[in-house]
Amino acid sequence: MPTSVTISKIFLSLACALALEAVAADAAPALSPARTMTEAGMVDVRTLSPGLAEDMKYAGTDNFTGAVVEGYRAPKCFLRRQAAEALVRVEATLHAQGYALRLWDCYRPVRAVTAFVRWAGDLSETSTKAAHYPNLGKDKLLGEYIAPVSGHSRGATVDLTLMRCQGGHCEPLDMGTPFDFFDPLAHTADPRVTPVQKANRERLIKAMATEGFSNYPQEWWHFTLPAAVSPVIYDVPVE
């Protein structure tokens, strides 16, 4: 006959299992039926701030896949309106301080995430290893670095960096790694970065936090506005 301690352990295990099921459910949100950006409630941030610097990596070949990613038909940054407006306010504040943002990715269609997973599964294609994952085997990327469901598909997440501006010219600050560098060195608080790189990362985090954006600790460039996150994910192409 089980003791009270054993029964308690059983209930604890059950509670943990239910919690894990809830997490799993959260990790697989419903797909929105939206077919346009308007239906998805998203806007092109350039319509709100034409001067925002963009280098939309997945609309070109300068990214970890080495190719234009499915779903990116134009180099544009779309976000849900609340997130877009908050990002524009961050840019305005930084501009007054002599800094600016450079955007690398914003809303990401589900089909693009599927393309990432497909790329990660092709272990024979390693042409971008030196630039993006020099210290890891490609078989280690799926899971920690490339997820089958991305928060970007909810419309309130952005990948970006910070630039210092002078005389009308802006230069990116040294953040310690390039964008989409799959390595612990890209973790925001990695102790190996130099004091200057650490200060630059902290400056970016502080600037984004003023409008409610939270940093993802595994990637210094990745920020989400929790208040604007959609309960569903979208697959509207970027065009």
Q: Catalytic pick from 54, 91, 211, 219?
A: 219
Report yes or no: 161 and 175 within 8 Å, Cβ to Cβ.
yes
φ and ψ of 171, to 5 deg:
-125, 135
Residue 53 pairs in a beta bridge with 102
Q: Is the dihedral of CA 63, 64, 67, 73 positive or negative?
A: negative
The structure tokens listed for 199 are: 């200060």
Identity of the amino acid at 175 = M
3 state SS of 43: strand
Residue 70 annotated in active site: no
Q: Centre a 10 Å sphere on the Cβ of residue 9 and count the other Cβ atoms it contains.
A: 12
**Hey, which residues are catalytic here?**
219
